[in-house]
Chains A and B, each alone.
Chain A
Amino acid sequence: MMMMRKRKCLKIFDSKMANYVRDIRDPEHPYSLEQLSVLSEESITVDEKLGRILITFTPTIQHCSMATVIGLCLRVKLKEFFPPHFKLDIRVAPGSHANEESVNKQLNDKERVAAALENPNLRQLVDECLYSNEL
């Protein structure tokens, strides 16, 4: 009984979160990440008890140069959604990017993320993806 209740809770939580991130715009296309199948509901795993979230996204092409920007957008957006102590890991789907390992490493290096978000050009790009209504 407990188990079932917990599952249901998680599901609701997941879809709420999916709603929250699905409208992020792709840096290179006038479409949302969901429209481009970069993100789906299955991309998101939440362990509320441990406070851990794993997001797996699928860049549109193998050599997508914007994969790190998409990752930054997800991180900024999800930081607003979850309590601050939640741990967030972001990865590209296995086999979906030519430089999978290096993209994953960069996306999860918080010092690189912090520096990137202080870079005015990158910050502008991220903000455009997050807050632009031109879909």
Chain B
Amino acid sequence: MEFCEDGNYELREIQRLEGHTDRVWSLAWNPTTGVDGVPPILASCSGDKTVRIWEQSGPSRSWHCKAILEETHTRTVRSCAWSPCGKFLATASFDATTAIWENVGGDYECVSTLEGHENEVKSVSWNACGTMLATCSRDKSVWIWEVMPGNEFECVTVLQGHTQDVKMVQWHPTMDILFSCSYDNTIKVWWSDDAESENWCCCQTIGESNNGHSSTVWALSFNAEGDKMVSCSDDLTLKIWDANILRMESGDGYAPWSHICTLSGYHDRTIFSVHWSREGIIASGAADDAIRLFVESKDGSIDGPSYKMLLKKEKAHDMDVNSVQWSPVDHRLLASASDDGTIKIWELASTSTEKME
């Protein structure tokens, strides 16, 4: 599917998922579902202390809540992430723990609880091959856990460096490089230069002095190739970064990320979520209740790539949009979660008579 900037697109609301009794913080599409006749599955987590598992099934192809994961976390569940194999769901909570849930024939069983952070765990992320897990907390630390046989998780390292609350951790989509973003306005990049992944250290800090954000960095996301990254912030901007990942993949050492461009003047309240689709569309969700989509502009600027807004969906929700996530399989589907307690499934559709190929 090619996106020409001049084309007319809209986000069509497919379904509104209701059930959570408090704000919905975060969403995760199960990466192994939605193909080969397996119905798509989406997980959501909320201030109501529960996680809900939604499935699109039945002749009407509508979404239903298949399971509620409760009575494990005692406070807000802030973030959730599926393992690459799709069998495990990790959930991070303000109760200072991270829970690991295993899908056993459609039932979800809490098989492990990761303890160690001093207070709220804000985010959890699996690495690309599912052998490691990262968590972060208001205690300013980032922890890396190794997945051991028998649902055991061993803390490999505790990374200190942020001076404040760490809002999100995210592994690179192809390499074992970890990114964290924080209330201290920075993004930190962590990697290990030895094969055993033991010497983890911070190899780059992206702050305001090197074109970084001037307030809390809430989230970041990578393009499909992994050579570009987008970050979003309380400073009302989105920033796009790139790095020479070929150099890193060939083992020539670390290649730093550098600033490509800043998208400002769009959202007028905190941008909480950003997600880059496999087809190159950046979605952002913010406290202005709106969702915006951006694509790389084909203007052929000599200053390198630039990005343009493809569309904006005002009042996408009645309240703040906390999470936007593209389906990893059906590339036109976007899910969003909000303070209004609902989740919405959107379809990106063309409004012109020409059909998108």
- Report A's interface with B, CB cutoff 8 A: 84-85, 87, 105, 109-112, 114-115, 118
Contact = CB atoms under 8 A, between A and B. Distances in A.
Contact of A114 (B47, B167, B287): B47
Nearest to B138: A115
A4 B294 CA distance: 41
B76 A84 contact: no
Contact of B289 (A85, A114, A118): A85
B78 interface: yes
Interface in B330-356: 339-340
A80 to B, nearest CB: 16
B120 A84 contact: no
Interface of B: 23, 47, 75-76, 78, 94, 119-120, 122, 138, 165, 167, 183, 215-216, 234, 269, 287, 289, 318-320, 339-340
Contacts of A111: 78, 122, 167
A112 B165 contact: yes
Contacts of B78: 111
Contacts of A109: 183, 216, 234
- For the complex, would chain B's binding face be called helix, strand, loop or mixed by DSSP majority? loop
A110 B215 CA distance: 14
B287 A87 contact: yes
A86 to B, nearest CB: 9
A114 B76 contact: yes
A39 B339 CA distance: 28
Nearest to A52: B269
A69 B13 CA distance: 40
A78 B94 CA distance: 24
A127 B69 CA distance: 30
B76 A115 contact: yes
A111 B76 CA distance: 10
Contacts of B76: 114-115, 118
